[in-house]
Structure 1
Amino acid sequence: MNLIGEYFNKTKIFLQKDSWPSFLVTLLLAFALIKFVFFPGLSFLTGTQLPLVIVESCSMYHHEDGFTKTFGSSIYEENGIEIRDTAGWDFQNGFSKGDVIFVISAKKAEVGDVIIFEGGTKHPLIHRLIYKNEHYATKGDNYKTNAQQLSSEKKISEDQLIGKALFKVPFIGWAKLIFFEGARSPSNRGLCK
């Protein structure tokens, strides 16, 4: 037992040193803890393989509070959704690019919930559920950029579901996005407008 305590103390002293080797070891330990303990634990607790996602586009951005202008598209009417149905929906003001979304299992997703799913794109899509029966259908809330429903969101199978949005933490995802903004087309760079 003494040997373990001695080793622990030496390691602690090394990590507290103000040196490049201790900094690199601390960085590696933090990475290992996040990748192999934190995220797997979070996945287990939330029931989804992707418990945190960063909003990378403006497809769920609202130009005003609520859904009044969003309902300019007939897609909602075609699915039996009226403006009064939106009163109890979460995320009344949508999402902004850079928001971090906490995700849970989508097993109990209902119309109006925001779901995350594999849509045949590089990254999963985060859109509002507008139809649920033998399959799922979604639509992005942003009426300026998402006037039409994407073909990949018209017939979503249960296998494509990753989860549903529980809550958001605004803008902290920019800590990651800032490194990739230069590679985007000029019209897709920066904050949502």
Structure 2
Amino acid sequence: MLRTRPTALLVDLDGVLRRWDPEVPARIEAAHGLAAGSLAKTAMEWPRLRPAITGEVTHADWMAGVAEALDAPVAVTEWQEYRGEVDPDVLAFVREARAAGVPTGLATNATDLLDTDLATLGLTGEFDAVVNSSVVGAHKPTREFLVAACLALSTPPKSVLLVDDSDRFVRGARVVGLSAYRWNGPADIPYLRAALGLA
């Protein structure tokens, strides 16, 4: 339940606005004799991931570490050529919110590749603010990241709604004072529209 009607919106990228087809890495892993799920599992190991999403190392350095850990540089290169797909329903919701005058930002744990990804996906210019953890130097859901995201929208936390697919990030946002909604899929959009007064 939202405490007060939010006046600004933060949307997560991966798992909300951007979808990933699990068949892509599965095909690559099978073709290169890698265990199923090993590409993502290796990349997401926290000691390897954290420096990439806080700007301590580049995306290229991060992937080089994954390639070395798996001894599979060609597989990692092929995997990285796939940059996901935009959920058209979420993008339509973002555009509707902005058109209604709701300050709207992208809030994501990302690397220095984010701007390139947004361009590849056709998302450049779709937000009033893009809050990238590797630029902030702190990752979601830390207070530092969330406060920076609210400042980017010139809106106090109590008036910001975060939409994210991570329970932990939703809980963290609520601790900082934001309203936060756990994304389950496009069926959630009518509720979110109503929460922002768009319905």
> Same fold by TM-score, threshold 0.5 exceeded?
no
| Structure whose CA Rg is larger | 1
Place the TM-score, normalised by the shorter chain, in its bin: under 0.3
Bigger proportion of residues as helix: 2
Bigger proportion of residues as strand: 1
Q: TM-score, normalised by structure 1?
A: 0.26
